[in-house]
Structures are given as C-alpha cells and as structure tokens.
Amino acid sequence: MGLFARAGSGSDDARNASFALRNTTARKLELIETYESAGLGCFWATDAEGKITYLSDAAVAALGLDGDKLFGMPLVELVTTDTREGEDGPERPLGFLLGARNKISRLPVRIVGARSESWWELSGSPRFTAKGVFEGYRGSAKDITEARHRQQAAETLARCDSLTGLANRHYFEGLLSRTLDAYRHAKRCCALMALDLDRFKQVNDTLGHPAGDDLLKQVASRLGPVIGKRGTMARLGGDEFVVMLPDMDDRGELGELAQRIIQMISQPYSLSGSRAIIGCSVGIATAPYDGLDAESLTIAADMALYAAKGGGRARYRFFSSDLKDGAQMRRRIEEDLRDALAAGQLEMHYQPIVASKTNRVTCMEALLRWNHAERGFVPPSIFIPIAEEMGLIREIGAFVLRRSCEDAARWPSPLRVAVNVSAAQFTGDDFPPQVAQVLKSTGLDPARLELEITESVFVGDPDRIQDIFMELKGLGVRLALDDFGTGYSSLSYLQRAPFDKIKIDRSFVQGATDAGNNNPQILSAIVNLAEALQMETVAEGVETIDELTLVKERGASHIQGHIFSEALSQNEVMSRLEAEQIEFQPQGPARFRAERKTLFRQIGIVHDDYRYKAVLRNLSKTGAMVDGLLNVPVGTQLVLDLGGGQLAVCTVRRSKRASLGVEFESPLISDGADGLCTRHRVSPYAIAAAGQPLAPLTPDAYARLHAAPAATPSFVEVVTKDNRVADPALGYEYRYR
C-alpha cells in the first residue's frame, strides 16, 4: 500500500491520501518555480475571453512589465506574430488560433512593451470543463531572444554585402526574380538601374585597396538618401551596384533620379587624407517594356550601362532595342582598335582657339580622329572610353602628344598646340620625362605646348600631383584646366595648381541667351576669377552669333567653337597658315535654339485610328519636321509613332505640300545620350490586352496593332524609294493604303 498506508484504518487512509496529494502539489510547485527561476521557461494562462490570468513572476520581472496592468490584458496585446521584412510569416496569426481554440505549438511571438526586444516560443492548449465549457488557455513559453538574434545575424549575413551593408548579389537576384514574377501577374512595372563607378580602378591603383573599400562604403552611404524608400539597393561585387525601383516607368523621373545619383557619387571623397574624384554611369531598363523576367531585364540594364560608359561616362542611358546593334559594333571596335595605330588610321585634326578681341587664332586644340578603313570616321566619344577599358589610353595618348608636337613644329606660324591628357597618362611616373623627350626630338618650343587636364587627374596623392605640375612647368610648357565648372571642387585645384588657362565648359555657353538662364552670371564669375588669378579663359562650344556676343560681353579672353571653325586636318592648317590666314570670321545662325537632331528614318503617323508611313526629318524636345502626308491642315492633331512603343501627341503648326512641322503636346526628354525619347511608352500589358502575346517592346510594337486598319484614310500618303519625299515637280508617288 506504500509508505503512507495503514491497514484496517479508513480515516488514516484518507489522511494519508490528502497528505500525499498536498506533498505532490508542493513538489510540482517547487519544480515549476525551479524551472522558471532557472530561466528554462515560464507558464501562462488566460480566461475564456483570452485575458491573461497568470504569468510567471520571473517572466514579468525579466520583461520589465507592469504586473498590475498585465493581468486582465488580452494575450494578443502582449505578444504579436509580426514578422521581419522578407521572412515567411506563420500560416495563421495568434488571434485566429485563439479564436478557433486551436492548439498552439512552438509559435514565435514578439513581446510588446518589453524594455528590450524579446521573443518567445509560445505553446498552449485550450481547457474545457467536464461539461465542455471553454475556460481559456494554459500554456508555456520559452525565451528565444538570443537564438532569434543569432538567426537574424545569420540571415543578414546571407542577404547583405559584408562591406557596404547593402543587399548582396544572391539575395538581390532572388528578390528581383520574385518581384517580377508577382508584378507580371499583377500587371505592374518595375525599373532596374545598373551602376558602375568610373575611375574606381585608378583609386585602387593609386591609393590602395583599403582606400578603395572605404570609397565603396561611402558610395553606399550616399546612395541611401537619394534612393530612400523608393527602391532596394545592392552591391553585386567590385564597383557594380544595382537599384530596383518598383512601380516606376516614367522615364522623366528615372532620368532625374539617375542624374542625381551621378551628381552625388561624383562629389569628392576624402580617403585616408587623400582626395579622390570618381564618376558614375547608369543603365536603366524597365519591366515589362524591356524585359519580362529577371534575366532579360538585367541584360537590358547592363546593355544600357555599357552604352552609357561608351558614350563618354558620367551619364545615364535608357535601354532600347537598337543597343543590341550598338553592342555588336562595340565588340568590332574593340577588335579593330588595337590595329588602328599600326595601320595609320589615327589622325590629328586641329580646332582654332581665337582671341575674342581680334578673332585671330592663337592656339590649335589637337583632336584625335579615327579614320576606319571600312566605317569611316569613328567618333572619339565612342572609341576613347573603349581605349580606356582596354588599357590602350596611355599608348594612344603618347601617339597624340608626339604627332601633335611634330605637326605644330612644321607650322609656319608659332601658334600654340593644346593637347588633351588623360588622367591615366598624366599620373604615370614617366609622363614629365615623356614630354621632355618629345619636345627634344621634335624641336618644338616648350612655350608652344599647352597640356589640357581635367579634374580627374586629381585622384590620388595631392603632393605627387603637385610635383608633376612643377616638373611640367619646369619644362616650360603651359597648363590648362579643361571642362571647368562641371566638377564639384574646381576652386580648390586653383589654390596650388599652376594653370595658365581655364576652359569654360560648353554647357555654360549653349542656351545661356535664353530668358531666365543663370549661365551668364556664371560666365562672369568664372572670367572674374580667372582674371584675378592672371589666367586666360576659353569659352568652349560657341556656335551662334548671340552666344558669341554674350561671351565677349562677359569678358572671355578666347573663344572656341563652330562659330569660327570646325577641326581642320593638318593639310588644311598648313594651307591657311602658309597663306597667313590666321583671322577667322564668325559664321553661324543668329540665335541659339533647342537642338534639332537631323534624322531620316521611317516612323508612323496615326490619325483617326488610321496609320500612315512617314519620314522623320529632324527632332527636338518640342517638335519635329515630318515628310509624307499631303496638304494636312494646320491645327490637325496627330500621333507620331516614334518606335519602341513611343507615341507623341502633336499638333500641325506648319504644312507645306507633304512637309509638316508639328509641336508636341508634352516635350520629349533626353535619353541620357544625344537622343530624345518620350516619358511614357505603350505598355506591353495594353498590347497583350489587344490580342498580342505579352512580350517586351519591339521597334514596331505599336504598329502591329494597326496591321489591318478598319478606318478610312483622310490624307494622301507620299512615299519614295529612299523614304525621302521629293518635290512634286520631280514626281511624287501617290497611293492610298
């Protein structure tokens, strides 16, 4: 019968049983207290209304909660099942489980109102009376805060780039893929920006990898305020960054954001006591317009980035289908560029720089030209960035320096020659000796050589840069600061660098005569600064008479631009100088107007739901000249299909025979390069709704919707074989479609 039983005594049996029960209960309570005080867990209970009726004293104390307010509080107000961003939450929230009187098993919950972040693993079961009446819950809880923090740290490490704290490649690629899949079903858009730092390798090479790492951290910290909560940023590796921007497809907003990114990243950096300046190129693609899934959209953004870098860096570029042809062209240029020097395809041309008071040339700027055997002249804006990436820029720079000095030495007039020097060439250990050797071998007077340097040379050790300046000045050559005003710390360079000339960037000249433009005041400030420092000034890019008048009024000592002359070949320079023709007369349009890009390409015109073929002659932000429709009344509203889903609503302002001048309802915007584009495009979702397969936009995406028009044409369409409209006297081809 056990230790507490006595035979033949009923009352003793009852007393023994009562004693055993009390003893067992006491032991249970002792075990519970020991369990709780050891921090192994705690217990809780609620009434039928879900209000807390019991919570272990140790738990209340550990959480720093007010016990008086705690009891009677609904359990759902004490704990929450909120999950962290990117974490899969529970299938059912706690309130649902309690309301359904389901069993709770190891549910992670966060404690609301605790003095520090605390997490419990909650378990519990509903309690019922013998008659099935619900009495509430009884359960246990285990503190999992430390384990939760370890889990968070591990997940952060798996998601984040260890250097910058941004998302890493693995996490971002998965996030982008999931987002685009969900957005495709919801018919939403998403933009992707691909960023690449310009001249980052130069920082690593000159200041070391620790400085490069510090620079990447600073870049990430600058991106944060610009992007804010609009998107997700990631570092893919090296100096490659990406930004995902949900629900953004307005190319005006995207272009402005890209420009702010470029400006912010291009500001100077302080790295271990040294000063560095880098740039940034941005490629932009948008789903579903440019790609439907993560892979295709990433490829599109990378191609746009490649085009931005190839177009001169420090710029953005939108993806377009013609970039595929450009990428193929770039690969061919890379293959041919190595042989260009040996094949004698690189030539020097020279653009006059004239004195503003006399219009007499004082200096010739040496400009490199590549006369390709098959493709003709390849613009330097295309092949120079490629040469930099291929590591050929120093070799090409040495050729430019030598050939320019050789040509100038043969000029019959002692004009100066200005030679552009890349940052990689300038900071090389052998640059001053190289200049000295070229001057000696060509016999050119050092005072006739002017080296044009941009702010990018100031990356690296400032003392070393200053030593190079002093070595060059010791040779007797002149120094010019090129593209002044486009950087962010130009004034600091003038404190020590011994410049003889400041070249005012063309961006301060073009459009300066427009009403409300502040550039005239900026021109005056730069000129006054240069005069105070006893430096010459050159206003670059002057093309019109009103611009010429302005820069002269503002005091620029020298002028350069098409208003006087384009770049001349060596033979043309020799002919003019031998004839003593050193004075150039200004020739150009009277006034500046928004640039119109001359084009001859086929577009579509839509009127009353009928589509015509036409030829786009030229294009500006506010309007275009179009050939192809006869006698369209002034005031007629049309829609120009510029290709790739770009529709521009416009009004006919001029109409003469088959030539139309139209004004856009909404101005076009820059595509980041030399072209223009619409802010918005026809959505592939809208095209799919009209019966076409869902696909990224093609050049003829909108045209396919008009393959079989039901409308009757209102105008006569005029077409010639070369897609250019001729004068009626020469013969039109009339036809109705």
Position 698, amino acid: T
Quick one: CA torsion of 607, 611, 615, 616, rounded to 10 degrees?
50
Burial (CB < 10 A; 0-12, 13-18, 19+), residue 666, is middle
In a domain, 426, yes or no: yes
Q: Are residues 315 and 191 in the same domain?
A: yes
Q: What pLDDT sits at residue 23? A: 61
- Secondary structure of residue 648 in the 3-state scheme: strand
Q: What is the mean pLDDT of residues 112-116?
A: 75
Q: Single out the residue of 112, 3, 120 nearest to residue 65, CA to CA.
A: 112
Per the structure, the count of domains in the chain is 4
Q: Are residues 494 and 356 in the same domain?
A: yes
Quick one: CA torsion of 319, 320, 324, 325, rounded to 10 degrees?
-130
Q: How many Cβ atoms sit within 10 Å of the Cβ of residue 186?
A: 8
Give the phi and the psi of residue 72 in degrees, each rounded to 5: 95, -10
In a domain, 122, yes or no: yes
Q: What is the mean pLDDT of residues 345-354?
A: 94
- 227: CB partners within 8 A, 6+ apart: 233, 243, 245, 257
Among the candidates 257, 286, 321, a domain finishes at: 321
Give the phi and the psi of residue 70 in degrees, each rounded to 5: -70, -45
The region that residue 551 occupies, defined by phi over 0 for left and psi between -120 and 50 for alpha, beta otherwise, is alpha
Q: Is the peptide bond between 288 and the residue preceding it cis, with omega within 30 degrees of 0? A: yes
Q: Are residues 182 and 300 in the same domain?
A: yes
pLDDT in tens, 498-507: 899 999 988 8
pTM of the model: 0.64
Burial (CB < 10 A; 0-12, 13-18, 19+), residue 689, is exposed
Q: Are residues 371 and 438 in the same domain?
A: yes
Residue 561 clears pLDDT 60, i.e. is over it: yes
Q: What pLDDT sits at residue 86? A: 41
Structure confidence at residue 203 as a pLDDT band (50, 70, 90): confident
Asked if residues 420 and 445 have their Cβ atoms less than 8 Å apart, the reply is no
- Highest averaged pLDDT of the listed ranges 17-31, 272-286, 582-596, 657-671: 657-671
The number of angstroms, rounded, from the C-alpha of 726 to the middle of its chain's C-alpha atoms is 43
Q: What is the mean pLDDT of residues 610-618?
A: 89
Compare 31 and 684 and report the one with higher pLDDT.
Answer: 684
Residue 737 clears pLDDT 70, i.e. is over it: no
- Residue 335 DSSP class: H
Name 615's bridge partners: 602, 627
Mean pLDDT (the chain) is 84
Cα separations (Å) of 540 from 408, 434, 563? 22, 28, 10
Helices vs strands, H then E, count in the chain: 22, 34
- Highest averaged pLDDT of the listed ranges 52-61, 62-71, 315-324, 565-574: 565-574
CATH number at residue 442: 3.20.20.450
Compare 174 and 386 and report the one with higher pLDDT.
Answer: 174
Q: Are residues 54 and 99 in the same domain?
A: yes
Tokens of 256: 């402005």
Q: What whole-number distance in Å separates Cα of residue 65 and Cα of residue 67?
A: 6
- Secondary structure of residue 49 in the 3-state scheme: coil
- Give the torsion sign (CA, 298, 300, 306, 311): negative
Compare 342 and 431 and report the one with higher pLDDT.
Answer: 431
In a domain, 31, yes or no: no
Q: What pLDDT sits at residue 37? A: 61
Q: What whole-number distance in Å separates Cα of residue 5 and Cα of residue 61?
A: 43
Q: How many Cβ atoms sit within 10 Å of the Cβ of residue 428?
A: 16
- Highest averaged pLDDT of the listed ranges 265-269, 317-321, 448-452, 603-607: 448-452
* Least confident residue range of 215-219, 330-334, 347-351, 384-388: 330-334
Which strand ranges, in their side-by-side order, compose the sheet holding 279-287? 232-237, 240-246, 190-198, 279-287, 316-318
Q: What pLDDT sits at residue 27? A: 66
Work out the angle at residue 434's Cα, subtended by the Cα atoms of residues 480 and 369, and round it to the nearest 5 degrees: 65
In a domain, 94, yes or no: yes
Q: What pLDDT sits at residue 5? A: 37
Q: What whole-number distance in Å separates Cα of residue 582 and Cα of residue 259?
A: 41
- Secondary structure of residue 319 in the 3-state scheme: coil
pLDDT in tens, 513-533: 877 788 899 899 999 999 999
Residue the block writes with tokens 């073009």: 510
Q: Are residues 136 and 168 in the same domain?
A: no
Structure confidence at residue 496 as a pLDDT band (50, 70, 90): confident
Residue 8 clears pLDDT 80, i.e. is over it: no
Residue spans of alpha helices (H) in 187-208: 200-207
Q: What pLDDT sits at residue 727? A: 38
In a domain, 530, yes or no: yes
Among the candidates 321, 350, 367, a domain finishes at: 321
Q: Are residues 520 and 553 in the same domain?
A: yes
CATH number at residue 238: 3.30.70.270
- Highest averaged pLDDT of the listed ranges 51-65, 311-325, 468-482: 468-482
Tokens of 501: 């000339």
- Give the torsion sign (CA, 629, 722, 676, 562): negative
Residue 82 clears pLDDT 70, i.e. is over it: no
Q: What pLDDT sits at residue 60? A: 81
Q: What whole-number distance in Å separates Cα of residue 72 and Cα of residue 645?
A: 63
Tokens of 347: 């030539």
Compare 231 and 87 and report the one with higher pLDDT.
Answer: 231
Q: How many Cβ atoms sit within 10 Å of the Cβ of residue 128?
A: 13
Residue 587 clears pLDDT 60, i.e. is over it: yes
CATH number at residue 147: 3.30.450.20
pLDDT in tens, 127-174: 999 888 999 999 988 888 888 888 777 666 668 888 999 999 999 999
Q: Are residues 357 and 209 in the same domain?
A: no
Give the phi and the psi of residue 384 in degrees, each rounded to 5: -65, -50
- Secondary structure of residue 90 in the 3-state scheme: coil
- Secondary structure of residue 37 in the 3-state scheme: helix
Q: Are residues 276 and 375 in the same domain?
A: no
Give the domain range for residue 379.
340-578
Residue 112 clears pLDDT 70, i.e. is over it: yes
Q: What whole-number distance in Å separates Cα of residue 717 and Cα of residue 259?
A: 41
Q: What whole-number distance in Å separates Cα of residue 642 and Cα of residue 638?
A: 12
Q: What is the CA radius of gyration of the chain?
A: 37
Q: Are residues 489 and 558 in the same domain?
A: yes
Tokens of 275: 């000063």
Q: What is the mean pLDDT of residues 364-381?
A: 85
pLDDT in tens, 418-468: 999 988 888 877 899 999 999 999 999 999 999 999 877 776 677 788 889
Tokens of 97: 């489980």
Q: What whole-number distance in Å separates Cα of residue 592 and Cα of residue 583?
A: 24
Q: What whole-number distance in Å separates Cα of residue 21 and Cα of residue 25?
A: 6
Q: What pLDDT sits at residue 551? A: 93
Q: What pLDDT sits at residue 501? A: 94
Q: What pLDDT sits at residue 305? A: 92
Compare 394 and 326 and report the one with higher pLDDT.
Answer: 394
- 537: CB partners within 8 A, 6+ apart: 501, 502, 503, 504, 526, 527, 530, 531, 555, 556, 557, 558
Q: What pLDDT sits at residue 713? A: 86
Residue 22 clears pLDDT 70, i.e. is over it: no
Q: What whole-number distance in Å separates Cα of residue 543 and Cα of residue 538?
A: 14
Among the candidates 112, 132, 151, a domain finishes at: 151
Half-sphere exposure of 47 (CA within 13 A, CB side): 8
Q: What is the mean pLDDT of residues 561-580?
A: 94
CATH number at residue 687: 2.40.10
In a domain, 639, yes or no: yes
Tokens of 163: 């250097």
Q: What pLDDT sits at residue 85? A: 43
In a domain, 401, yes or no: yes
Q: What pLDDT sits at residue 62? A: 74
Work out the angle at residue 583's Cα, subtended by the Cα atoms of residues 582 and 585, and round it to the nearest 5 degrees: 140
Q: Are residues 140 and 177 in the same domain?
A: no
Residue 389 clears pLDDT 80, i.e. is over it: no
Q: What whole-number distance in Å separates Cα of residue 613 and Cα of residue 602?
A: 7
Residue 223 clears pLDDT 80, i.e. is over it: yes
Structure confidence at residue 270 as a pLDDT band (50, 70, 90): confident
- Residue 160 DSSP class: B
- Residue 228 DSSP class: G
pLDDT in tens, 244-269: 999 999 999 999 999 999 999 988 88
In a domain, 369, yes or no: yes
Structure confidence at residue 726 as a pLDDT band (50, 70, 90): very low
Q: What pLDDT sits at residue 725? A: 42
Tokens of 672: 């980041």
- Secondary structure of residue 417 in the 3-state scheme: strand
Q: Are residues 422 and 346 in the same domain?
A: yes
